Structure 1
């Protein structure tokens, strides 16, 4: 599968912002998040969908001035708002960097998005890329991860959405908040992402605090191997960025590994045997450095 010429930059933190709340949209510019996700779906009441879409289109014109990377969470496929969201965003003179497609349950959901984006961008006379991110939020989405991950070359990441997925699986609120209870599904998302060179992004901690439970959820996702995590409040962004950023020592180690392995199949560095498996970890650490190209 041929993807865009340049892989997407790191997504340590993705701050979800209600598109219908002008105050929060304005405040988010200074959050420090790697990506702002303006939400047209769950955060917007049905009566305000059109108004929120217009607000997003207007705010996109400011993105360049603020230097922010913007993703738009559109309404789900099969809803009466999805096609209009995609048409107007794709036709915008300043389109978002990517579209977050919620409640993806099959490859067909992404194929629909892909064809519509292609058609609208062709009509607009531009081939500027718009990426796609798939939000996995149902039992069907988990069951079909393999086909979803290969549905379109636009696809940049798989995102795990806990609230809707907990409801789909019939999990209680208490269980839904336990990081360890999601291990099998988290691993499935990671395997699908790694197999297809996609980013794996953990869903938000279901609360706005930054206490020990939040820190445990962030650390759990980082240690499993996720590339980043969603946040639902600006105060969470700094902690997420720090958790998913490699330390200077890790970056030095990664650079030394790749330098030592240059032109060699297996060598030793500081008593550690190095091979391609170690090189993969080194490349992934360097890819997480902000400003680096994965």
Structure 2
């Protein structure tokens, strides 16, 4: 009988919930989309794994009146991507006139090459179901949905949205969320630092993170628009990862990718501890063990296994004892 992978033993039905790269990089202009895909391939070779998703953007990338042509462009780019590339597309919102055509073209032709479809401005479970139905109609019935929550009402429904079976990840749309308050939140609430201090913005972020973790989905943190201030970006990423429970973050400039990886990566000592404990647990057939003067069981094994997964997702070297669990073949199963 085949030996179960530690991921399935420790995470069970949520085995795939945390397997996404920690960085989701967006681009919508043709030259930048091509550069993003090339950079993804270069960094995958450097790190030994794909460390960010390349999301091709229709919502902000398509010129008004040129939505159909842009959908064809991103479809061709997705189809031409290198084997093993992680390519996604952000389509227009479900109430936009181009939504159905976006999904029919992109998912209909390139759904098998996409990792997921991102749907912006989701307000309710009905919007999620509308997107799922469109994917089904396009013949992409197994393609996961990532959704972008951008309003106070959508935040209120975050737990219901996260519970939908097709939703794999929820992102927080900072800029639209702030502007939806009619000036009640000052402009500083959209800044790298201010978004972590205004109570309404902070509450929304926590609601989304909590909803995702309640349903085994991936919470993805919003953008930092000050893309030339990498120190501010890395500080924001660290807060998102270590204080707010986010396991993924948007990038809108290539220079932001490496700081996001660094911020979401575990410390080397955490990786060494996790590897040693998992090795001990496996030798004990996952029974409780003593380690560094503490008693550990499957609850703590689960935590330390996730440390190893995050290390792999951020391109860190893993100790030999656990490296075999993170080959391309085993990671996918």
TM-score between both structures, scaled by the size of structure 1: 0.87
Greater share of residues in helix: 2
Matched, 1:139 2:152: yes
Of 14, 19, 38, the match for 2:24: 14
Q: Is the 8 A contact 1:40 1:53 kept in 2?
A: yes
Q: Is the 8 A contact 1:145 1:192 kept in 2?
A: yes
Residue 99 (structure 1) shift: 0.5
Any residues of structure 2 matched to 1:81-160 within 5 Å, and which? 81-93=98-110, 94-121=112-139, 129-151=142-164, 153-160=165-172
Residue 104 (structure 1) shift: 0.9
Q: Is the 8 A contact 2:233 2:259 kept in 1?
A: no
Matched, 1:211 2:224: no
| Equivalent residue number for residue 43 of structure 1 | 61
Q: Is the 8 A contact 1:4 1:154 kept in 2?
A: no
CA, structure 1 residues 4+46, in 2 after alignment: closer, same or farther (shift >3 Å)? farther
Matched, 1:250 2:263: no
| Equivalent residue number for residue 165 of structure 1 | 177
CA, structure 1 residues 285+72, in 2 after alignment: closer, same or farther (shift >3 Å)? same
Q: Which runs of 5+ in 2 are unaligned?
A: 1-11, 44-50, 314-325
Farther off after superposition, 32-41 or 261-270? 261-270
Compare relative contact order (CA 8 Å, sep 6+) and give the higher one, 1 or 2. 1
Of 24, 33, 39, the match for 2:32: 24
Farther off after superposition, 229-238 or 28-37? 28-37
**Separation in 1, partners of 2:74, 2:14:** 25
Q: Is the 8 A contact 1:210 1:236 kept in 2?
A: no
**Separation in 2, partners of 1:89, 1:195:** 31
* Alignment RMSD: 2.5
Of 251, 269, 272, the match for 2:294: 272
Q: Secondary structure at the match of 2:228?
A: coil
CA, structure 1 residues 230+155, in 2 after alignment: closer, same or farther (shift >3 Å)? same
Residue 245 (structure 1) shift: 2.3
Deviations 1:93-146 (A, max 9, x none): 45422100101110011101111211221xxxx76x311101111111100011
Q: Is the 8 A contact 2:88 2:114 kept in 1?
A: yes
Residue 5 (structure 1) shift: 8.5
Count matched residues: 284
Q: Secondary structure at the match of 2:220?
A: strand
**Separation in 1, partners of 2:127, 2:306:** 29
CA, structure 1 residues 258+243, in 2 after alignment: closer, same or farther (shift >3 Å)? same
Q: Which runs of 5+ in 1 are unaligned?
A: none
Deviations 1:65-89 (A, max 9, x none): 5x42111111001110111111112
